[in-house]
Each structure stands twice: as structure tokens, then as C-alpha cells.
Structure 1
Amino acid sequence: MEISIAKANVQELQPLRDLFLHENKIEFVYNKCHLYGWADTYAFTIDNVITGYGAVWGKDKREDRDTIFEFYMIEAFRKYANLVFKKFKEACGATFIECQSNDVLLFSLLCEHAQNIHAGAILFEDSFQTNFYHPQLLFEKNKTPGSHPDDRSYILKLHGETVAAGGLMLNYNKPYADIYYEVKENHRRKGYGSFMLQLLKQEAYAIQRVPAARCHIKNNISKAALLKAGFKTCGFMLTGEIKKEA
């Protein structure tokens, strides 16, 4: 059996990427790496048959290529995943793996091939609808242009004062919309965060997107607001150092 790893154009591998996203049915946080040229992609072939692909980017600097963040193989060839992964890490020179725990294949490879694994963020998916009501709060689109063209931003006002801001990032894999928000410090612990999240979820569904979110694993306040607003934990963002071969 001959395994070959070679750099390839991401457009050429898009059919395989479509299979990866369809099979996992998750918001893939790293998806935008391909959109902005932050990653290199590699095609996997076994006996001259394309069986999968992988992608690398920089863990700390985008221009680096030291971290594997995407790895997919067609199911019929997945029994060779370990062999292909070893060849892939040698070909690309990566020393780290970053993955979402709900990306089952790469998560399993992380557990087997990495050490010093730690979680940096919690991933959330929508679970149930909430019905918070704050009649004095006004929710409206932010008239100030956002920092990114795919950003739909909104503000929450109380008696003319902006008390919270947030929005939807649409540069992730469809149909997902990544929600972000922030409540001004002097207006926290009043339920405004969960109310803002409820409204942002509604905006996402209104444009036929599925809301998703994440927060730093130590951000207990944001985690509590997301859970209160009807989200539930669906995974973690993990990083590990690839073990050196004995």
C-alpha cells in the first residue's frame, strides 16, 4: 500500500470538505481559515486514489504552519487514518493539533498522538427557546459599520444609552451564525446579556442561519448567560502537542 501526501489547492479539495462538513454537522470554527488564506491544504492518496485531506495553520501566528486543525478521510479508508496521519504530520512538519471535541475523527487522533492537551474554549449550540422580557430595552441594528463585511452588529439601549452590543458573524460554514456579545460593565448582572443573546438567536433564525457560540473556558459569567439564553455545551476547543516518535 502506497500512501502519498501532497500540497493541494483548497478549491480542488472542496468536494471532500463538503463531505467533512456534512458528516459532522457542526459549526466548524476553523472554516474561515480557508476563506482568508490562513491555511495550507494537503491531499491524501492511497494507491493513487484520493482518500482524504488535511489542513494546517499557525497556532500563535497565522503565517506559521505548525498546527494541524483539519483532517478528513472517506469512511471506507478511515481504517488507515493513523498511518495517514503519521505521514501527514511528517510532510507538513506540524508540532501541534488544534481541534474541536465534536470533530470525532481528529479528536480521536488528538487523544492518541498528542500530549499536554488543554481546552481553551467551550462550544455551544442552541437547545431551547427563551422568553425574557425587558420592555424598557430597545434592540436595534448598529449604524456604525462593523469591522468585517460579514458582521451583522446590533446594540441594546436603555433610555438612549447603549448597555450592550453584539452580533452575528456569518463567515463560518453554513448554515451557522457565530454569536458574540458584550454588556457594559456597569450594566452587568441585570439579565441584559441573556436578553441580548435571545434576540441575536432570533435574528439568526430570521436569516435562515443556526445560532452557535463559544466562550473562554474560564469565563463563567459568559457561560452562565449562554446557558440561561437556551444554549447548551456541545464541545470544547482543544490544543495538544504532537508526541515525538519513539
Structure 2
Amino acid sequence: MRIALSQFAAHTDTERNLEHIRTTVARLSDVDIVVFPEAAMARFGIPLGPLAEPLDGKWATAVRQIAADAGVLIVAGMFTPSPDGRVTNTLLITGKGIDTHYDKIHLFDAFGFTESATVAPGSRTVVAEVDGVGVGFATCYDIRFPGLFQKLADDGALVTIVPASWGSGPGKREQWELLVRARALDSTAWIVACGQAYPGDEVASKGPTGIGYSAVSSPLGEIREQLGQEPGLLIVDIDPDEALAARKTVPVLANRRF
């Protein structure tokens, strides 16, 4: 399975970000999945309500068409309206005969930021079968919760994709890298973590807008590929059978008691 991770710093303009998705996918070939960060529709630090769109709205429909034309699965973060007046932090997952979404379950009420003030939490886990391989989905702060990743593995995920907009600050890069590797070990699955690039100090001060360092961890917790903090495109080939082999070598899912 070949996966492309597009690490970029999303703009406040949804059309500009859509064009980034379009041009990125157009330049790729022989790729199965293209992953964009959390909040790829528009970055944090601005009012989200006015730009949120339903899953059948213009922005998501355009992404679906891009995926269909290219014959790839696209995973991209967007915001959808919530019935309670907030928005939902949603991953659009579309292409290759798949059309589903994941709403972020664990909201970032930490480090002085209160995501739940404007964002409603999701409640369901999502695993999709992509070319015969189980792929799970999580978003950013979710990566601090091992139970979610083990649940995804129980549901058949050999790969879990984690778009993120990881807030900057002391020790945050170290935490990000540690958590990517730890969740791989917890679930004995590949972790494909695609974050927003670092946008500069001025923009970063307005919200959790990203630090870069997108990374891919093997099921045994080895960082196989990683970007720096600047925008970039990372293409990785992963072997789902490595997850099956890891589960025979270190059967933590079978051996756990809690």
C-alpha cells in the first residue's frame, strides 16, 4: 500500500486549501491513499461556524470529485455543522468506492485551549477496508488515548491514519513523536500521522495550527519516515503483513487483561 502525506499549513481561505488538495493529488501517480491534515479545510484560530459545510456541501463534493478522478482515497480534515450550534471536527474519507467520515471523539481541552467550546465530539469509531486492508482513523488529540487505537485494531485496522494540527510549545514535538510510536506499539498497527506544517510564530500563537514532523511508524514502533516542520510531501510504501507479523511476535492485543 502506497500512501502520500501532504504536510502543509492551511490558510483561512477554504478555496485556497481546496486548490492545494487538487494540485497535490494531480501530481501523484501510483498512490493508493492521499492524506491531508486535520483542519485542511481551514486552519484553527478563526471562527469555524461560518465556514462549516455539510458532507454534501460544495467543499466535500469537490474533494470527492478529485478522489474519483484520480482513483485514490483522500483523507482530509474539515468542519461540518453540529445540531447544537457548534461544529464537528470531521475527517472526510472518500474514494476507491468508499464514502464515509470520522468525527473527532477526543476534543483538545488541554494546554489552555478549549476545543469543546466550539466543536462537538463524535461518538463512533471508523475502520474502512481499502483494497482489502483494514484502515482506521483518528484525529490529533485522539492519539493520546490508547484505547481508541486498540479498538480500531480489534475492528480490523492494520493501519491507522491520524491527521493532526498539533499545537506548538515546549516539549510538544517530543510528545508527538513518542505518541505516534506508542500507539503503534499499543495496537501493533502502522500509524500514518500527517500534521499541519509550522505556519510561523504569529499564526501559531492563534491556536493549535501545527508543528510539522509528520511521521510513519511501523507496528513495532520504529519511525520509518518523517518530515521536518516545513511544508512537504512524503510518500511511503507500507506492508500490512508487517502488522500481522508484529501481532504474532508481540501479541499485546491477545494478552491484555484490561
The alignment's TM-score, normalised by the length of structure 1, stands at: 0.28
Higher relative contact order (CA 8 A, sep 6+): 1
More strand, by proportion:
1
Give the greater-gyration-radius structure (CA): 1
